[in-house]
């Protein structure tokens, strides 16, 4: 197991994390661990996009890459509750 550490955040965010953890029947620590391992880095998204294009028989051009990046911007905007 990894060595524990502290993360500084506002009371508002901490309270929200507590509610989210309670709703899932878990702890804030476990919630953060899940979120931290579930979310993809930019490099991981790029690699998966390349692999998906290859599986679909699509050449992974700069245009395809840009369409994918634009899609991620829209996805993140909707996840945040705002339209892109």
- Tokens, residue 11: 């009371």
- Tokens, residue 33: 């661990």
Q: pLDDT band for position 14 (50/70/90)?
A: very high
Per-residue pLDDT at 84: 47
Question: How far apart are the C-alpha atoms of 56 and 30, rounded to whole Å?
Answer: 36
Beta carbons within 8 Å of 33's beta carbon, 6+ residues apart: none
Condensed to tens digits (0 to 9), the pLDDT of residues 27-82 reads 999 999 999 998 888 899 889 989 999 999 999 999 999 988 898 889 889 887 65
Per-residue pLDDT at 58: 92
Confirm if 19 and 28 have CB atoms less than 8 A apart. Answer: no
- Tokens, residue 28: 């804030």
Question: How far apart are the C-alpha atoms of 72 and 59, rounded to whole Å?
Answer: 19
Question: How far apart are the C-alpha atoms of 28 and 38, rounded to whole Å?
Answer: 15
Q: pLDDT band for position 20 (50/70/90)?
A: very high
């Amino acid at each position: 197991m990894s060595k524990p550490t502290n993360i500084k955040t506002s009371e508002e965010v901490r309270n929200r994390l507590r509610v989210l953890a309670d709703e899932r029947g878990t702890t804030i620590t476990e919630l953060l661990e899940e979120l931290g391992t579930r979310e993809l880095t930019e490099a991981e998204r790029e690699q998966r996009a390349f692999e998906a294009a290859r599986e679909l028989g699509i050449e992974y051009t700069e245009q395809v890459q840009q369409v994918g990046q634009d899609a991620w911007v829209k996805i993140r905007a909707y996840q945040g509750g705002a339209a892109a």
